[in-house]
Chain A
């Protein structure tokens, strides 16, 4: 394989990793602050993608679509937090799993009812649809490069938010001790709604940006949700840094495994067998990575304990 192809695949891995980070960061924040496992996070990803596709189709503006994705996902997040999620903070994980599983059913079928079963398409804006030339003469799609850039910017912004702002201090205090932060006079229920809406907005944005590369359809969120869980298990619950490292590891493993494993097997067996064994193993590679981390560090790379 050529170096150029390898670099391209690494960039693809980075791109999918950084989008996973947007999902995982919200999940891990919500778990860290509220102690809640939210299976419906994938639905918020889907809401963002559908909002972007619908608004972009109506207005012809991709940028407006992205804004719509942020707003719709944040609003949906705030709504379910107010109506359902806040009743679950004091419940055990089983109840949280069931209630948020129920939310998936409602969101998925509701979306199918509104938009039908056929996928929608969200087009990459014309200005970004071509390739750009990178140093070394590598051609790479401008839009995917933009995704990487936006994702990194958001990562930096999140770290700054948590480390430097007033709300970040409240979030960190909330992770450490719920009673203390209440004693400090912070309105906990408002903070929780805000954190949930923030996580939802990140998921919605990821859904919209990825939706322009893949198709926008019901059920698109859950495979990403499960990948984000793998990211969190690898990175450690509650750690934004862990989410970033885990997401990049998973993105790169998944992308490179899909390319390299069939090639690797092809070196010593016939091509069709190599392709089938290689791709079957590649489909399992990130889970094997997760199992490896579990063996040596059950609480994740950056988890406590």
Chain B
């Protein structure tokens, strides 16, 4: 078996084993950390479809993360205050049901990705980076200046949303939900990478001219990838908001975009399990370094700098080497 395959199994088991051990030791805070890692990994899995497969350096994925968060916040806020979202031309009410919220988050983030992608994919390279960053910032300022949903202060949700048959307030049950969603997303991303679409998309990253010459349009491939990517990151945003029972414009900020990208890179760009490794490492660092120093971002910055300059494959690349799947 290839080393990466073994590592993937270890990474996949890392979070549930941690959460399970924490349950036995009665450490609910550790379960919450594992849940956070699973959700952030999910956001990274989304970005990795655009970044790793498609080569699209999006610095604006906070837009989708935040939209997912606000989809949850707005629906749940209306449900908890028993006021409808709108009454004309037809009635839309809030909801406290996770599956419904997820669906809304996926659709809203996907549509936003379609609009942002359609514009920004007209360009490439540095332009693309700057434009995605700018659109993310646009939503950030919009969230701040729109007073109806808390403006700068954000929205608090008093009780976590429900999932049929489960008690979501129990940390281990909420972890199970987040982990299953992550596992499904990994399954989807893995299938995607090996599909006809993945072959064409990844070819467009390596050589767009080649893809055009066989009669496939890189723009369409990239746009679809960007939409799938944004939708998954949006779903992660909804879960993240539910974890904190709070949404604020910070979810839209450029730091959020940067951090989601950091998960992907710390783990290993283009590796299916890279975001899982990266998010787990990030949470671990935040916990350990954050305990040592209030200014732990300095160390995170230095570590990231070292990874970029000297260990380009990230964690998985360093352990598993440069071998690539040939099938």
Contact = CB atoms under 8 A, between A and B. Distances in A.
Contact of B308 (A98, A105, A222, A233): A98
B26 to A, nearest CB: 34
A104 B59 CA distance: 14
Given A31-B126, A87-B309, A223-B137, A284 B142 contact: yes
B298 A280 contact: no
A207 B131 CA distance: 23
Interface in B129-145: 129-131, 133-135, 137-138, 141-142, 144-145
Interface stretch (B36-44, B65-73, B117-125, B187-195): B117-125
A98 B312 contact: no
Interface stretch (B91-99, B231-239, B299-307): B299-307
Interface stretch (A8-16, A106-114, A141-149, A152-160): A106-114
Nearest to A258: B145
Interface in A227-272: 229-230, 232-233, 237
B277 interface: no
Contacts of B312: 95
A7 interface: no
Given A94-B57, A103-B305, A113-B298, A283 B141 contact: yes
Interface in B14-66: 51, 57, 59
A295 B119 contact: yes
Interface string B237-277: 00000000000000000100010011001000100000000
Contact of B134 (A99, A105, A229): A229
Contact of B129 (A97, A103, A106, A279): A97
Given A97-B57, A295-B119, A290 B126 contact: no
B20 to A, nearest CB: 33
A59 to B, nearest CB: 28
Kindly state the interface size class of chain B when it binds its partner.
Answer: 35 or more
Nearest to B56: A94
B148 interface: yes
A189 interface: no
A287 interface: yes
Contact of B138 (A95, A102, A284, A294): A284
Q: Which of B119, B123, B141, B304 has the most CB of A within 10 A?
A: B141
A42 B14 CA distance: 38
A87 B301 CA distance: 16
Contacts of A215: none
Contacts of B262: 98, 101
Contacts of A291: 119
B127 interface: yes
A102 B299 CA distance: 9
Contacts of A61: none
A233 B148 contact: no
Nearest to B128: A93
15 contacts: A95-B312, A97-B57, A98-B262, A101-B261, A102-B305, A103-B301, A104-B258, A104-B301, A105-B300, A109-B295, A109-B297, A230-B134, A232-B130, A294-B123, A299-B127
Interface of B: 51, 57, 59, 119-120, 122-123, 125-127, 129-131, 133-135, 137-138, 141-142, 144-148, 254, 258, 261-262, 265, 269, 295-298, 300-302, 304-305, 307-309, 312
Closest CB pairs A-B (n = 3): A105-B301, A287-B138, A283-B141
Interface of A: 31, 37, 84, 87, 93-95, 97-99, 101-106, 108-110, 112-113, 222-223, 226, 229-230, 232-233, 237, 276, 279-280, 282-284, 287, 290-291, 294-295, 298-299
Given A37-B126, A230-B130, A299-B123, 10 more contacts: A84-B305, A98-B307, A103-B305, A110-B298, A226-B137, A229-B130, A233-B134, A237-B127, A287-B138, A298-B127
